[in-house]
C-alpha cells in the first residue's frame, strides 16, 4: 500500500491531522457531542478530542455511549483519551461498561506461559482506560469487586491489577487477597488474581500463593511461579521449591521456573551490589 492509500485508509479509521481541530474549535460542547454521532469517523474523532481537551465532564455519558458503538480505531482511541483526560467523572459510567465492549476479553485459561516480567496489558478496552485514569478509580473498582458476576469480576481483577501496578495502592492488594480467598475453586479467577499479585513485592502474598505451586492446573502453576519470581525475596526454601520445577514434565512450567529463579537471584545481586 502506497502512502496515499495508507493515508486514506487511516482517515476511514478516524485518524486526523491536528490542524483539522482548528476549524471546529469554535463549536460548543453540545455541538462537539453531536459530532460523536457523525457518519464520518474523522468528525467523531474531532468531537471526542476537543471534548477531552476541554475536560467536558457533562458529556461523559455521551462519550461512553459513543465508545460502546465505535468501530473505527482512531475514533475509539480519541474517545478513550477524552475519558481519561476528564478523569474522575468518567469512572462511574466507564465501570458500567467493563467487559461489554468487543470480544477480546479472556474467558479461559491460557495455553502459553507469559514470559515477560511486565504486567500484561488488559485486553478489555474499558479496563485499560480506567487504569490510565489511575487513583480516582480505585474506590469504585474495589466497591464493584463485590459483584457475584464472575465474568465481570474477571475484568475487575485485571483492572485492579493494572491499578496496583500504576499506583502501588496497598488497599488494592488487600482486596485482591480477599478475592483470592473467596475464589479458590474458580480456576480462571484464581489464575487472574495470582497474575494481579505480580505487580508488587510482598512476603504475605508470597506465602499466600506458594501452595498453588502444586495446583493440578498447569496454567495456575506457571502463573504462580512467574509471580513468585517477581514478588519474592531471596529465600532458600522458595528458591529450592521453584528450582525443583525446572525439570517438570510441562515445558511451560520448566521455563517459568528458570525465569523466576533468575529474576529472584538477579534482584538479590542488585540489592547488595554484587
Taking only the tens place, the pLDDT of each residue in 110-142 is 999 999 988 898 999 999 999 999 999 999 999
Q: Do residues 158 and 196 lie in contact, with contact meaning Cβ atoms separated by under 8 Å? A: yes
The pLDDT value given to residue 201: 87
Q: Whole-model pTM?
A: 0.92
- pLDDT band of 5, cuts 50, 70, 90: low
The pLDDT value given to residue 7: 59
Taking only the tens place, the pLDDT of each residue in 51-96 is 999 999 999 999 999 999 999 999 999 999 999 999 999 999 999 9
Reading the block at residue 194, the C-alpha cell is 495470582
Reading the block at residue 214, the C-alpha cell is 502444586
Number of Cβ within 10 Å of residue 30's Cβ equals 11
Closest by CA to 217, choosing from 236, 197, 192, 181, is: 192
Closest by CA to 197, choosing from 224, 218, 171, is: 224
CA distances from 150 to 179, 183, 189, 210 (A): 11, 10, 8, 24
Mean pLDDT of 20-40: 96
Amino acid at each position: 500500500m502506497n502512502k496515499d492509500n495508507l493515508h486514506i485508509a487511516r482517515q476511514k479509521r478516524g485518524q486526523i491531522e491536528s490542524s483539522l481541530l482548528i476549524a471546529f474549535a469554535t463549536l460548543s460542547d453540545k455541538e462537539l457531542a453531536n459530532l460523536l454521532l457523525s457518519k464520518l469517523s474523522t468528525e467523531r474523532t474531532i468531537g471526542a478530542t476537543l471534548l477531552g481537551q476541554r475536560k467536558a465532564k457533562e458529556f461523559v455519558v455521551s462519550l461512553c455511549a459513543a465508545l460502546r458503538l465505535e468501530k473505527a480505531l482512531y475514533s475509539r482511541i480519541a474517545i478513550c483519551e477524552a475519558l481519561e483526560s476528564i478523569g474522575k467523572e468518567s469512572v462511574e459510567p466507564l465501570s458500567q461498561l467493563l467487559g461489554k465492549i468487543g470480544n477480546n476479553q479472556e474467558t479461559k485459561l491460557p495455553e502459553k506461559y507469559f514470559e515477560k516480567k511486565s504486567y500484561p496489558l488488559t485486553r478489555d478496552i474499558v479496563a485499560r482506560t480506567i487504569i490510565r485514569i489511575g487513583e480516582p478509580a480505585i474506590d469504585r473498582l474495589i466497591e464493584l469487586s463485590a459483584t457475584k458476576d464472575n465474568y465481570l469480576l474477571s475484568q475487575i481483577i485485571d483492572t485492579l491489577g493494572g491499578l496496583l501496578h500504576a499506583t502501588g495502592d496497598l488497599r488494592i492488594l488487600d482486596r485482591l487477597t480477599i478475592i483470592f480467598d473467596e475464589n479458590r475453586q474458580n480456576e480462571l479467577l484464581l489464575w487472574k488474581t495470582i497474575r494481579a499479585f505480580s505487580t508488587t513485592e510482598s512476603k504475605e502474598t508470597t506465602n499466600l500463593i506458594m501452595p498453588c505451586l502444586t495446583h493440578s492446573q498447569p496454567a495456575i502453576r506457571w502463573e504462580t511461579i512467574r509471580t513468585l519470581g517477581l514478588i519474592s525475596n531471596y529465600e532458600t526454601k522458595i528458591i529450592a521449591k521453584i528450582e525443583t520445577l525446572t525439570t517438570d514434565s510441562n515445558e511451560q512450567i520448566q521455563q517459568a521456573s528458570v525465569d523466576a529463579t533468575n529474576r529472584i537471584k538477579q534482584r538479590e545481586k542488585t540489592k547488595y551490589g554484587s
